Amino acid sequence: MESTLSFDRGSHAPQSSPVGTSPARVPIADDKAMLRAAAELTRDLIAPRPGLYWADMVGSALLGYAALAVAVTAASTGVIVVASVVAVLALYRALLFIHEVSHMKHSALPRFREGWNALVGVPLLTPAFMYEGVHNLHHAKTRYGTADDPEYLPLALMKPWTLPVFILVSALAPLGLLIRFAILSPLSWVIPGLRKIVVERYSALAINPQFRRRMPEGEALVRFNRTDAAASIWAIALVAMVATGVIPVRGFAIGFAIGSAVAVLNQVRTLVAHLWENEGEQMTVTAQYLDSVNVPPPALLPGLWAPVGLRYHALHHLLPSLPYHALGEAHRRISAALTPDSPYHKASYKGLPGLVAKIGLSTMRRGK
């Protein structure tokens, strides 16, 4: 859901400049050898594997719901903790298939979007329309890193306090989603003018508070309204079941905590998905790649906090149409083919702590 943080894009100018503005940045030209190698070496990897998509998504969701059920019904604190951790990781993985849904050619994976919405998107109040029609703008060559990018803020150049706030505010995501679907959506059908506001401002997983999504049209609008209604019915039913005691308050609180943990984990992943060093100018594809992050093997933990191929986020910006299961092989091929001085290797990092420290130190140097 769109962040309500009013981070000011104009507040990050380094104080070391004599006039309070950033020193001129040297534009990064496109490395044609890297771009050509990336395209040529991965042409045979473009086809998605439907069986893997369905098995991975459905298996992750079912494991997550089973662990959630154990967590909300168990009496032992130890069992609750273990089950909650499993639920967070499994539901997080299932939820991140929204990223694949926003990129895929639906003819190659028939009904996957509908299946994902039914099993994950609607129950977790994060239907596919929250990303479709939004995330593709982040990949537009002329929008990435600019004020028109819904998923970009120059976090590394902002005030140091913005990073912990950026992470902690995400813990309120389950509450925000309940308000969006149980209150705002139903009201928007009967209050003139509110529908436009709800669609523009509260129907996108965006971090840029200035972003306003366009009203869907045609078939997309029909699908948007249908899915929105389904999520609203479920949200209202959930609130009603808690209010009437069908779902115990204790169980709801545990579920809410699991949802908050999923949102925080995703926000941490978002924090280290890019270096966030662009100040609004248009960037070449190579510059966009270098502002993004790969965390390849031998590190193991990124498979948990950046699943479904998102540990190769920089590579994804080079080849956004590659399915998630092909990114590891694509990375191995490109890494082996390019010389050590290629910019391709400069987007790879060892792990989460170093990335958080890098961005944090940048805010302290440049955002004071």
Q: Residue 72 has what pLDDT?
A: 97
Q: Which residues of 280-294 are buried (b: 16+ CB within 10 A; e: fewer)?
A: eeebbbbbbbbbbbb
**Domain map (residue ranges) of the chain:** 51-366
Looking at the predicted structure, is the pLDDT value of residue 13 above 80?
Answer: no
User: pTM for this structure?
Assistant: 0.92
> Is 313 in contact with 273 (CB distance < 8 Å)?
yes
Cα 130 to Cα 42, 61, 217, 268, 357: the distances in Å are 29, 19, 15, 19, 30
For residue 258, report the phi and psi dihedrals to the nearest 5 degrees: -65, -45
pLDDT digits (tens, 9 = 90+) for 243-278: 999 999 999 999 999 999 999 999 999 999 999 999
Q: Which residues of 6-20 are buried (b: 16+ CB within 10 A; e: fewer)?
A: ebebeebeeeeeeee
- Calculate the CA dihedral of residues 358, 363, 366, 368 and round it to 10 degrees: -150
Tokens of 6: 């009013």
User: Which residues on adjacent β-strands are paired with residue 348?
Assistant: 294
Tokens of 181: 């679907």
> Is 198 in contact with 185 (CB distance < 8 Å)?
yes
Q: Residue 8 has what pLDDT?
A: 43
Q: pLDDT confidence of 9, banded at 50, 70, 90? A: very low
Looking at the predicted structure, is the pLDDT value of residue 1 above 60?
Answer: no
pLDDT digits (tens, 9 = 90+) for 77-112: 999 999 999 999 999 999 999 999 999 999 999 999
Give the span between the Cα atoms of 236 and 298, in whole angstroms.
45
